[in-house]
Amino acid sequence: MDKPAFHAEIERIVSEHRLDQHPYVRLVHEGKASREQLKGYPIQHYEMTVRDSAPISAVAYLKMYEIDPRTARGSAKGFAEEALGLYSHSAGHTDLLFELWEGGLGLPREQLANSVGSEEARTFNACMYRIIHLKPRFVGAIGLCEEIEVPAYKMIQEGLECHYGISPEHTRFLSVHYEADKEHGAGGHRIIDRFVTGSGREEEFLAEARTMARYFWMGFDSMLAV
């Protein structure tokens, strides 16, 4: 597959799965989500990415370091941000989600910590572990999923603050990720061009990226359940 065709397929995956198009995101943005549906975002996101964000980014660094130490620096920065909020000067991203759960929704931390996400959310999480452990050269697919969510963060934050009375201090998970995932998405494209473009594995990568994007979207489908 030539470079223009490969890039066109990547852009198609992103455009078809942009989460600002998802019914859940629009429901929250318009103030039409029920309280049970509001709980769906932190529960499913905790299962998909947040609980394991620090260990996943740490393993990604180690795997990438074996392949290319210079490229691995981006994974090291990702770990520092996910675990500690070092670059956003905020907090670890798990702590930020707990802020939304406890301060924004008024729910006990242990309820989120002990929650069990949907099958789709667990499958997306498994896809990330599979890529990192078995196909680390394809880790840029995770960056694409982060890019897919960027505009949705802003929409959900606006909806929570405007329609549900949740203060900005409790929506930092959304505002921090809105900025951080722009860079993560750009970094994903750089990693794709470094390790996949011209490698002869473009079709294989696209299959993995489509699967991840589809299950990420389906994880948001499960947020609609009441």
Max distance between CA atoms of the chain, in angstroms, equals: 52
> Looking at the domain covering 3-224, what would its CATH class be?
mainly alpha
Check: pTM over 0.75? Answer yes or no.
yes
Query: Which ranges of the chain would DSSP assign to H, the alpha helix?
Result: 3-17, 23-29, 35-45, 53-67, 69-84, 93-99, 109-113, 119-134, 140-163, 172-195, 202-221
Looking at residue 87, its pLDDT comes to 66
Domain borders along the chain are: 3-224
Looking at residue 31, its pLDDT comes to 98
Q: What is the pLDDT along the chain (226 residues), one digit of tens a residue?
A: 899 999 999 999 999 999 999 999 999 999 999 999 999 999 999 999 999 988 888 898 899 999 999 888 877 777 676 766 666 666 678 899 999 999 999 999 999 999 999 999 999 999 999 999 999 999 999 999 999 999 999 999 999 999 999 999 999 999 998 988 888 889 899 999 999 999 999 999 999 999 999 999 999 999 998 6
Looking at residue 86, its pLDDT comes to 61
Looking at residue 90, its pLDDT comes to 67
| Residues 222/44, Cβ–Cβ less than 8 Å | yes
Looking at residue 84, its pLDDT comes to 63
Looking at residue 183, its pLDDT comes to 84
For residue 35, what are its two tokens? 């309280």
> What secondary structure letter does DSSP report for 136?
G
